[in-house]
Amino acid sequence: MNRDQFFGDARSDLAGPLHGVRVIEATTAWAGPMVGCLLGDLGGDVVRIDLPGTDGGTTWPPYIPGTESLLAHETVNRNKRSAYVDLRRPEGREVFLNLVRSADIVVENFKPGTLASWGVGYDDCRAVKPDIVYVSVSGWGQYGPWSDRAGYDPAALAAGGWMSLNGEPDGQPLKGPTYVADDLAGLHAALAALAALRHRDQTGEGQHVDVALLDSLLFQSNGFLTAGATGLPLTRWGSQVGVSVPTNTYACKDGFVFVAMVLDSHWRKMADLMGRPELADAPGFATNVERVNNREAVNAAVAGFCRSGTIAEILEQLIGAGLAAAKVNSYEEAASEPHVQARDMLQEMVLADGSTAPITGPAAKFSRTPTRVRRAAPKAGADTDEVLAEVGLDEAERARLRELGAV
């Protein structure tokens, strides 16, 4: 299938499958903004609430080269508008609740109890919008012995066991290179918000959705929590896996490739490529079970084959034989891959400072309601007047609220 065939029946009059859904986002750091990012990418109207006088909640470096725009902010706050509202002030609280009246979903990721102490918690919001879907993201959840702790991504990786298995077998535990717990919590929260919307549409009932970084990470740990609970030992494998061999990173003359092999039929092809067809049926090699128990010898054979050529030469043979293999790219190399570009994973955008930059595009593709990066991340507070006017606050009232420091 080519691109034109996939999008042959696409509509151009909608922002995406969530066109018409309104989201009010009061968040900081990464996990909470990721929820709004996903809902905005899907076509939702996401209004980000920022504290007056600040630059927003995702303000760490680096800057995108040649711009005055922060990489993190542009990545996670695209497809949103921003309004300045001080939730800590009574007048700001009333503005926020006025916005909630117009919304379908509220997303927040402050420490549990914080927004309730400001008068904009779930009970406050459902008092003005009974069917609101109120999504709370936190490190440890809204209840439980750890719920009042501060929580960030690496702490969840450590507490959940993930870090204990990351790294080389003889090395120390390592955190992830990306915010994996934050991202997983954002994904679960966005999915849960949509499920709650479905329930609301069927019953008229809103609800409070509680998503913890720890829970999201444990859910996505391939059953390892059950393994831990039942005493099943777990091993740190580095680039290998415990259940199939050869699955590993191998050096070529000019870099590295990753080869993943599960099927015995694939191993027979690999044996032919290596010029060692006898290994297809040899004891210790013929089946995956045998190869797992003969890991060192199997890896040595594949490593010798990969060392014999360049990445391009080795991949041509492996991929040509229908085997799963890829070059180990840097992100710079991945960005230049024609396949990545063909999938619209980089979309050129005009940023708020007037510069242009390629912004990471949405992952899911919709044939009928295509999604895209529709607008770059806003400067904090850039859309305050527009957003407040939409909920009936006229120019005089907005001026009064500004004098009070509420917006």
Cα–Cα distance between 188 and 182 in angstroms, integer? 10
At 327, is the secondary structure helix, strand, or coil? strand
Cα–Cα distance between 380 and 48 in angstroms, integer? 9
Identity of the residue numbered 253: K
Identity of the residue numbered 244: S
What the block records as the tokens of 264 is: 């015995």
> Which sign does the torsion angle of CA 61, 63, 68, 69 carry?
negative
Which phi and psi (to 5°) does residue 352 adopt? -60, -25
- Close Cβ partners of 324 (under 8 Å, ≥ 6 residues apart): 259, 260, 261, 266
**DSSP E strand boundaries for 39-88:** 45-50, 80-84
Q: Of the listed 41, 182, 210, 383, which one is catalytic?
A: 182
Query: Half-sphere exposure of residue 11, counting CA atoms within 13 Å on the CB side?
Result: 10
Query: Half-sphere exposure of residue 208, counting CA atoms within 13 Å on the CB side?
Result: 18
User: Is 182 assigned a catalytic role?
Assistant: yes
CB 120 within 8 A of CB 97: yes
- Close Cβ partners of 117 (under 8 Å, ≥ 6 residues apart): none
**Short-list 72, 77, 112, 213, CA closest to 153:** 213
CB 30 within 8 A of CB 179: yes
Which residues is 144 bridged to in the sheet?
Answer: none
Q: Which residues are identified as catalytic?
A: 182
